[in-house]
Amino acid sequence: MVDAARPAMPAPVLEASGLCKRFSLHARGIGLNVLHGVHLAVHAGQVTVLTGPSGAGKSSILKAIYRTYLPTAGSLNYRTGAGEMVDLAKADDHTILHLRRWEIGYVAQFLHCLPRQPALDVVARPLVERGMNREQARAGARKILAHLRIPEALTNLPPATFSGGEKQRVNLARGFLTRPRLLLLDEPTASLDQESQERVIELILQAKAEGAAILAIFHDRSLIDRLADARVEVVPDVRVEPLGGDEGACRCDRP
Amino acid sequence: MNSAHENDRLLACRGLTRWHGSGCPACLEETGPERNTNVCPRCGTVVALAQASLDLRRGEVVGIIGESGSGKSTLVKMLYFDEEPSAGKAIFHGPEGVCELFELNAAQARKLRNRYLGIVYQNPHLGLNYRHSAGGNIAERLLLAGVSHYAEIRERARVLLRRTEVPEDRMDELPGRFSIGMQQRVQIAKALAPGPPLLLLDEVTTGLDVSVQARILDLILELQHELNIAMLVVTHDLGVVRLLAGRTLVLRLGRIVEAGLTDQILEDPQHPYTQQLISSAL
């Protein structure tokens, strides 16, 4: 794990230090160590890109920050909009849910959404959960879906039947619409055509201009060159070991 | 950070325990997932649920998963006063103030249940009175909650049935003549009638056809969004918690073995039992 070059600037929105992730697979009696003391910082108004080959653990870092994976060790110090410090690695579930609703967005590689719900409502839902009136939220959803070139006629259908690229754009629309302070993007343009990709880049640049801190994974080298303000290289190093008696401890920390 | 949520508290359970039998000092130690039994080897007492603690916020949906006999139904039945706990407490932050559920006398408990709690059982026969019409079932619930004006009761029943997609012209029919899916929707309407801040759902989609399940789940989800009602959703179906719950508790042999955000429970389960449960799902 190599630190990104960090010029002098205000305190980061998120600072990971010593982040470790181990999966304890009890049925197989093995521990799978995938992250070993990751250090990184994500600043407001910047795009930080995780680089490294597939299988290096880039997605695992995003999931550990979002708490879809429970970090094994280390800290994830997040500065909230109100200026409080919260360690996302240790915060209670209610705090994480609160931050997910108001501050931290995550666009996964694949769209997970409620079945049978029209795309428009899938995208509008996070705003409705914030208490916005449904029609107002839908208007916002309609606008961002149009920007991402989803045909109006599709927006009233559930995304289950959409193409991969359309699903991905619905996913992105939902992620960007709430304007999160910290945005985690996992290969946001992987299955998009050139024109749609440009629209996504516009959204990223706009979010950045508005001060969002973005941590992203991009498949495409040219995109990294275009968008990255900082890079963090993730080195693949998966270690398998038998499960011992001290599952709580992390033995993978390196100086 | 936590202080921001102070006013959101709805329910706090601490050490809820329920056993069937004489009980002995070894009961809790000798049972549970590590002992692989919920029957005390010394006195034969069945420990249905032990030392269960959970916090529920207003408008929050929490899933409770586990196999049959894990204690998940016992938990909701105690909260609905259907069963008495052997130990533990439950602090309820209701519209009329804070109270400990199990310190209430029978009349107070009944009143609280009638006004502020709703339950939907797996079997609609438990939740509905089959000698009363669909509308009558809702009227009964509203009367218990203190609504006494006939026209108002009638109108609210009509609105609730419409909301739960029960045709209005069948309002005066007996629920026994409805399909099982529609009976379940009447049960949901009845549970929601007094506008409770907390709804308990006990395996509400188990045993229904898949298409009926989907409609019931969609309905629950819509109502949850619309009314911002807190729910405890007991199920053995991982799909149901994935769909409905922000947080999930995993029960095994009367103990909470794991609690976490639902996506974390499903993608990164920690406890050996949860891992087995997730990996054996289709």
Task: Tell me if chain A has a CB within 8 Å of the CB of B221.
Answer: yes
Collapsed DSSP state (helix, strand, coil) of residue B97: strand
Residue-wise pLDDT tens digits, A146-203: 999 999 999 999 999 999 999 999 999 999 999 999 999 999 998 899 999 999 999 9
pLDDT at B4: 47
Residue A87 neighbours by CB under 8 Å, 6+ apart: A75, A76, A77, A78
- Asked if B247's CB is within 8 angstroms of A93's CB, the reply is yes
Residue recorded with tokens 């108004």 = A45
Residue-wise pLDDT tens digits, A19-52: 999 999 999 999 999 999 999 999 999 999 999 9
> Residues of B with CB below 8 A from A25's CB?
275
Among B2, B221, B264, the residue with its CB nearest the CB of A95 is: B2
Instruction: Taking each helix axis as running N to C, give the angle between helix B180-192 and helix B134-144, from 0 to 180 degrees, rounded to the nearest 10.
Output: 20
Collapsed DSSP state (helix, strand, coil) of residue B39: strand
> Residues of A with CB below 8 A from B215's CB?
none
Q: How far is CA B107 from CA A246, B111, B112, B198, in A?
A: 51, 6, 9, 19
For A59: left if phi > 0, alpha if psi spans -120 to 50, otherwise beta; the answer is alpha
pLDDT at A252: 53
- Asked if B55's CB is within 8 angstroms of A27's CB, the reply is no
pLDDT at B213: 87
CA closest to A126 among chain B residues? B225
pLDDT at B207: 83
pLDDT at A6: 52
Residue B249 neighbours by CB under 8 Å, 6+ apart: B54, B62, B63, B64, B65, B256, B258, B259
> Residues of A with CB below 8 A from B261's CB?
67-68, 93, 96-97
- Asked if A84's CB is within 8 angstroms of B1's CB, the reply is yes
In angstroms, what separates the C-alpha of A196 from chain B's closest C-alpha? 29
Sign of CA dihedral B119, B123, B129, B133: positive
List, as one string, the DSSP characters of B44-64.
Answer: --EEEEEEEEEEEETT-EEEE
DSSP state of B70: S
pLDDT at B211: 84
- In terms of C-beta density within 10 A (0-12 exposed, 13-18 middle, 19 or more buried), how is residue A221 classed? exposed
Is the pLDDT at A241 greater than 70, yes or no?
A: yes
Q: Report d(CA B192, CA B255) in Å as an integer.
A: 30
- In terms of C-beta density within 10 A (0-12 exposed, 13-18 middle, 19 or more buried), how is residue B7 classed? exposed
Task: List the single best residue of A22, A23, A25, A26 to mutate versus B (max B Cβ within 10 A).
Answer: A26
* Under-50 pLDDT residues of chain B: 2-4
Task: Tell me if chain A has a CB within 8 Å of the CB of B53.
Answer: no
- Asked if B272's CB is within 8 angstroms of A67's CB, the reply is no
Q: Where are the alpha helices (DSSP H) in A91-180?
A: 93-102, 119-129, 134-147, 164-177
Task: Tell me if chain A has a CB within 8 Å of the CB of B21.
Answer: no
> Residues of A with CB below 8 A from B246's CB?
97
Mean pLDDT over each residue of chain A, to the nearest integer: 92
- Under the banding of pLDDT at 50, 70 and 90, the label for residue A3 is low
Residue-wise pLDDT tens digits, B119-176: 999 999 999 999 999 999 999 999 999 999 999 999 999 999 998 999 989 999 999 9
Task: Tell me if chain A has a CB within 8 Å of the CB of B243.
Answer: yes
- Asked if A116's CB is within 8 angstroms of B218's CB, the reply is yes
- Asked if B214's CB is within 8 angstroms of A69's CB, the reply is no
Query: How many C-beta neighbours within 10 Å does residue B1 have?
Result: 16
pLDDT at A191: 84
Task: Tell me if chain B has a CB within 8 Å of the CB of A27.
Answer: yes
Task: Tell me if chain A has a CB within 8 Å of the CB of B261.
Answer: yes
pLDDT at A217: 97
Task: Tell me if chain A has a CB within 8 Å of the CB of B270.
Answer: yes
pLDDT at A246: 56
pLDDT at B5: 57
Among B5, B221, B268, the residue with its CB nearest the CB of A114 is: B221
CA closest to A117 among chain B residues? B218
Task: Tell me if chain B has a CB within 8 Å of the CB of A77.
Answer: no
Q: Report d(CA A135, CA A156) in Å as an integer.
A: 14
pLDDT at A5: 55
Residue-wise pLDDT tens digits, A52-87: 998 899 999 999 999 999 999 999 999 999 999 999
pTM over 0.80: yes
- Asked if B276's CB is within 8 angstroms of A128's CB, the reply is no
Task: Tell me if chain B has a CB within 8 Å of the CB of A24.
Answer: yes
Residue A252 φ then ψ, to 5°: -100, 0
